[in-house]
Amino acid sequence: MKIKKYIAVFSLLLAVAVFTFSGCAADKTETVTYSKENGAVELSLPENWTYEIDEKGEESTSEIFSIGIKPENQEGFLDIIYCSYARKVTNERFLNGGEILLGEKSGSTHYGKNKDIWDFIVFDGFTGTYIAYGKDLPWLTAYKDEAEKILTDAVFGKGIMNKAEAIAVALERYNNEYDSITAKYEPENERWYVTISLIDPYSETYYYFFVDLQGNIVMESVLNKCG
Query: Please, are residues 130 and 82 in contact by the beta-carbon 8 Å criterion?
Result: yes
What would the pLDDT profile of 100-133 be if each residue is shown by its tens digit? 999 999 999 999 888 899 999 999 999 999 999 9
Contacts 24+ apart (CB under 8 A), 181-187: 185/85, 185/126, 185/127, 186/210, 187/38, 187/84, 187/85, 187/86, 187/127, 187/128
**Which residues neighbour 121 within 8 Å (Cβ) at sequence distance 6 or greater?**
100, 102, 107, 108, 109, 110, 131, 132, 151
Asked whether residue 2 carries a pLDDT value surpassing 80, the answer given is: no
What would the pLDDT profile of 128-141 be if each residue is shown by its tens digit? 999 999 999 999 99
Burial class (CB in 10 A: 0-12, 13-18, 19+), 124: middle
pLDDT at 76: 96
As a whole number of angstroms, the longest Cα–Cα distance in the chain is: 95
Please report which confidence band the pLDDT of residue 91 belongs to, taking 50, 70 and 90 as the band edges: low
Cα-to-chain-centroid distance, residue 176: 30
